[in-house]
Structure 1
């Protein structure tokens, strides 16, 4: 009998092919497929949005946007409930979210239906948060906050109201929801700055002790 303690499967060289299979199978899961479907829906949504052919295509664009936004709600829930969280999903999910929101904002601004400054404020916030995450990545990860999730939902609702061919009488509602989304966008962006600075300072302080 060997005196060496048994290691993980494949560690003794007898099962070299057994290791990679579970990781590959886990990456290709329902949650990640939903994320990929959101990326596929983005160009279809943009094409429908830019078709200048009456209200019918705006309903199509709004429907595609709503479907893509729904996959964002579902894929996160599925990943957490069934333990399908992967490195691929952590990277692809926020990319898909930003692609969807960004495409909608740029498209609406290009059509003259949304002021460019609104698109720029949101774009700068998202880019800034991404850069902050890279800035502190060696010290830790800044998790998504409830405010950040509320911000995303408010943006989705506001964009949905602008996509739908609603009567002019509802313009005050559009602006109210958009204003709330912008307020959350700026507030959560500042919150990320504070948390990033604290994380970096705390980690560097722990190392110096």
Structure 2
């Protein structure tokens, strides 16, 4: 526990900071990305490339804002809430659109979204007992999902496009395994004395 005098001398972290600005940018890029995919109807090569690049930039901001927040002590309540919302909005909209245009089975989208929502609910369920930090497996899962979605978005020729389902299969496995891991960790945290 931090001494109250020490806590009082630490200035509060301003909500308007570089990390939160990048998170906000990601939130604004989500509808831009959705419009680009919709404009492409996943058939127009140029719009698909634009959508893929937008998704890639937005995904990259996820790694950058977290690093900046931790590195420079810019972690805020806004960032803790907005960051996962931005992540799920971006990934969720991409998966739904890929399924909508018959490029990805709906069960894959459902499995990933159920896991993402479930882990978020688990975190709220145990918040009084502690924080479930992102695991290495969770970071691998995120990377695989981003790679798989990017692969589906880019207008590859048929030979290279066939790699996408394999990457997505690895992403789904990582998604399910890490979801189970978070569940076990949440149950342990709740039952700890």
The normalised TM-score by structure 1 is 0.84
How do 1:42-191 residues align onto structure 2 when only pairs under 5 Å count? 42-51=30-39, 52=41, 54-191=44-181
For these two proteins, the number of residue pairs brought into alignment is 185
SS in 2 for 1:26: coil
Q: Does 1:33 align with 2:21?
A: yes
The residue aligned with 2:182 is: 192
Asked if the contact 2:23/2:79 (under 8 Å) is kept, the reply is yes
Could you list the runs of 4 or more consecutive aligned residues of structure 1 that deviate by over 6 angstroms after TM superposition?
none
SS in 2 for 1:194: helix
The residue aligned with 2:191 is: 201
Whole-Å Cα distance in 2 between the matches of residues 82 and 100 of structure 1? 25
Whole-Å Cα distance in 1 between the matches of residues 130 and 14 of structure 2? 24
Q: For the aligned residues, what is the CA RMSD? A: 1.7
Unaligned runs of 5+ in 1: 1-6, 12-18
The structure number with the bigger radius of gyration is 1
SS in 1 for 2:102: coil
The normalised TM-score by structure 2 is 0.91
Q: Shift of the alpha carbon at 1:171? A: 3.5
Q: Shift of the alpha carbon at 1:80? A: 1.1
The residue aligned with 1:4 is: none
Whole-Å Cα distance in 1 between the matches of residues 147 and 185 of structure 2? 27
